[in-house]
Amino acid sequence: MNIFRKTLASLALAGLGLAMTQSAVAETKTVTTESGKHAPSLQELAKPTDVKIQSNNATFAEKYARQYNSWKDTDKSTEIVPAIEVDPRMIVLWGGYAFSKEYNKPRGHFYAVTDVRNILRTGAPMDANSGPQPMACWTCKGPDVPRLIAEWGEEGYFNGKWAKGGAEVVNSIGCADCHDTTSKDFAEGKPALRIARPHVLRALDAIGKDFSGLDRTDQRAAVCANCHVEYYFDKNVTNNVVFPWFNGVDVDSIEKYYDDIEFKDWVHSMSKAPMLKAQHPDYETWSLGIHGKNGVTCIDCHMPKVQGADGKVYTDHKIGNPFDAFENTCANCHDQSKEKLRAIVDSRKHDIKEVMLKLEDQLVRAHFEAKTAWDAGATEAEMKDALQAIRHAQWRWDFSAAGHGGHMHAPDVLLKVIASGLDRAADARAKLAVILVKHGVQTPVKVPDISTAENAWKVMGIDIEKERADKEKFLKEIVPQWNKEAIDKGLIFEAPPAK
Ligand code: HEC
Ligand code: HEC
Ligand code: HEC
Ligand code: HEC
């Protein structure tokens, strides 16, 4: 860990020197926040290093049998829940963005590579230079990512299309994502936790959590922050991953940062609003909740210490639902029965879902109303404030919806985020009503039937059958080549599961 960190720091310094001499010609733009912190420029990205990262998970099977076998057990969480088919409003909310094609609830870590290959969002690139997504889409899928960043540098890793990494990122979330697997400590069976992704170290620094200086508790939570966080791709640099934590990790601070740098993930296909897509701010939400504030980490609930048949205590690596291991998780600290705590968490989930859906309904209406206003001849100047309100309202909805387990991690925080989203949505719709009246449009604006995913895809102009056919072809023709190449190189011993 320390070697890696030092290398990073010295490279960043060397990069700074370069940035100063080249500032006149530098094309990349960074915005400095009030705190003086900013996203890295191209020159500040990490260069290749001689850090070795053993990314092949299977090589640890024998020596660390308990941890490996429990890690492998994440393959038992197989269910794919197609969230946008369960709730087709999302197809409208993400209009013009790939999420409207397919978005599923998370399942076991073992399937991360399989799922990113199979999802319609990554399309059907028939060669290494075809779209639609950039390399950054591999970043939270497994330990080949830090390996490639060490070998190619960050620019070398992030630039180019997603398909460039197809034969390289082949191990799902595994040992070298969280451990310094080549260290002496690890060889002795100690955890040797490490963060091997330079952009994550930078983000933790930005919130005053320099990884090497953290205590064991904070380090444990930080390994999950490799991936369970909000992030964006910096299009001004090389589509590299950046965590927008420069003002703080709560919904307002992140929104302010995005507004200050005038960032948008996409422009909505109907309303033309400059949208933000929240990813999964699990670490952020947890840190703001009662357990986070009391130093109870992800590990206490998702990776408890357990006793093997031989009596030896080890860390259970089957990351899943903590209620499935109640005696080793909640019951370590709480006296209540499993049924009682389950009922509390369920009722919070239910209440949050209820208000979340109300916000979705408001947003769906706002997008259709904005489209109607444009069609009636509204001008950009007239629409600007209403679109900004849509942006803020949907950001707040997505922050609460995209976070997984947020109803458990910080229900109070989510309720407030959703309430503020409802307030922004009301503001957007009030502004739109004025514009519609001005242009002689009769309200209420009619919303078409989007009660099924099929209907919603049609309304939004998505040819889902074509998307699926293209994907089939890609999976049949390209993916087997990726697997063969990776096996020949020794990156994996067997191909990731097809489904
Ligand atoms: C998502 C992060 C993560 C992944 C992936 C992961 N580990 Fe761990 N591992 C941890 C954490 C957290 C601990 C406990 C650290 C502590 O006790 O402070 C741990 C502990 C360990 C330990 C120390 C002994 C013990 O059981 O507490 C070993 C050895 C280990 N892991 C091996 C592995 C191996 C082998 C793999 C891959 C098959 C792996 N880990 C994958 C996070 C991870
Ligand atoms: C390298 C990135 C990465 C790291 C590190 C990581 N996760 Fe994940 N996690 C993911 C991805 C990606 C998924 C979704 C996988 C899928 O659906 O294919 C996921 C899924 C999950 C799930 C859902 C599992 C299920 O069966 O439904 C839980 C819970 C979870 N992660 C918790 C954690 C915790 C706790 C940590 C830290 C100890 C952690 N993760 C570390 C990327 C990561
Ligand atoms: C106090 C215990 C606790 C802590 C601490 C905790 N979680 Fe959870 N988490 C849970 C429970 C319980 C659930 C499942 C809630 C349910 O069943 O409704 C869950 C759900 C999740 C899910 C969603 C799984 C799915 O399939 O939808 C993810 C992802 C997750 N947690 C990640 C994390 C991460 C990352 C951290 C730390 C940053 C963390 N959790 C901290 C208890 C905890
Ligand atoms: C390592 C100890 C620890 C573990 C494990 C733990 N908790 Fe807690 N829990 C706490 C602490 C500390 C508090 C805050 C108590 C206080 O402020 O009075 C808390 C508070 C709570 C509360 C009341 C606060 C609120 O949200 O209104 C609930 C409910 C709760 N925990 C549920 C769970 C569940 C469910 C699990 C297992 C998934 C769990 N906890 C696991 C330590 C733990």
pLDDT at 130 over 90: yes
Q: How many residues does the chain have?
A: 499
Are the C-beta atoms of 480 and 494 separated by less than 8 Å? no
Percent of the chain surpassing pLDDT 70: 93
Alpha-carbon span 19 to 8, nearest angstrom:
16
pLDDT band (50, 70, 90) for residue 202: very high
The neighbour count for residue 483, using CB atoms within 10 Å, is 20
Residue whose CA lies nearest to ligand 1 atom number 40? 175
Alpha-carbon span 132 to 111, nearest angstrom:
22
Alpha-carbon span 499 to 497, nearest angstrom:
5
> Tokens 């942006």 correspond to what residue?
391
How far does Cα 20 stand from its chain's mean position?
33
pLDDT tens column, 482-493: 999 999 999 999
- Residues contacting residue 202 through CB under 8 Å, at least 6 positions apart: 40, 243
pLDDT band (50, 70, 90) for residue 31: low
pLDDT tens column, 361-392: 999 999 999 999 999 999 999 999 999 999 99
Amino acid letter, residue 109: H
pLDDT computed for residue 286 by the predictor: 98
Summary count for the chain: helices (H), strands (E): 21, 6
Mean pLDDT of the region 228-250: 97
Phi, psi of 277, deg, nearest 5:
-105, 115
Are the C-beta atoms of 145 and 113 separated by less than 8 Å? no
3-class SS at 190? Answer: coil
- Residues contacting residue 488 through CB under 8 Å, at least 6 positions apart: none
3-class SS at 241? Answer: strand
Q: Which of 299, 303, 321, 334 is the best mutation target for the ligand 4 pocket, counting ligand atoms within 8 Å of the beta carbon and taking the most?
A: 334
Enter the DSSP assignment of 249.
S
Phi, psi of 334, deg, nearest 5:
-115, 145
Alpha-carbon span 37 to 100, nearest angstrom:
34
Alpha-carbon span 445 to 167, nearest angstrom:
49
DSSP run (H or E) holding 305? strand 305-307
Question: Which residues on neighbouring strands pair with residue 233, listed in sequence order?
Answer: 241
From start to end of 137-247, where are the E strands? 232-234, 240-242
Mean pLDDT of the region 193-214: 97
- CB-based pocket (< 6 A), ligand 1: 57, 60, 64, 67-68, 71, 173-175, 177-179, 189-191, 193, 216, 220, 223, 299, 303, 314-315, 317
Of 78, 143, 88, the closest CA to residue 114 belongs to 78
3-class SS at 224? Answer: helix
Alpha-carbon span 77 to 142, nearest angstrom:
17
This prediction has a pTM of 0.95
Alpha-carbon span 184 to 486, nearest angstrom:
28
Alpha-carbon span 369 to 435, nearest angstrom:
10
Alpha-carbon span 267 to 276, nearest angstrom:
9
Are the C-beta atoms of 308 and 128 separated by less than 8 Å? no
Are the C-beta atoms of 286 and 277 separated by less than 8 Å? no
Alpha-carbon span 267 to 105, nearest angstrom:
24
pLDDT at 57 over 80: yes
Phi, psi of 133, deg, nearest 5:
-100, 160
Task: Supply the mean pLDDT for the chain.
Answer: 94
Enter the DSSP assignment of 84.
H
Ligand number nearest CA of 74 is 2
From start to end of 72-123, where are the E strands? none
Residue whose CA lies nearest to ligand 2 atom number 18? 112
pLDDT computed for residue 303 by the predictor: 98
302 lines ligand 3 (CB under 6 A): yes
Q: Count Cα atoms within 13 angstroms, Cβ side, for 190.
A: 10
pLDDT band (50, 70, 90) for residue 19: very low
Q: Which of 56, 62, 175, 216 is the best mutation target for the ligand 1 pocket, counting ligand atoms within 8 Å of the beta carbon and taking the most?
A: 175
- Greatest alpha-carbon pair distance for the chain in Å reads 78
- CB-based pocket (< 6 A), ligand 2: 77, 106-109, 111-112, 115, 140, 173, 177-178, 223-224, 226-228, 298-299, 302-303, 319-320
Antiparallel, parallel or unpaired: β 266-267 and 240-242 = unpaired
pLDDT computed for residue 20 by the predictor: 34
Within 318-440, residue ranges assigned H as helices are: 338-375, 380-402, 406-409, 411-438
Enter the DSSP assignment of 403.
S
- Residues contacting residue 389 through CB under 8 Å, at least 6 positions apart: 424, 425, 427, 428, 431
pLDDT at 124 over 80: yes
Percent of the chain surpassing pLDDT 90: 91
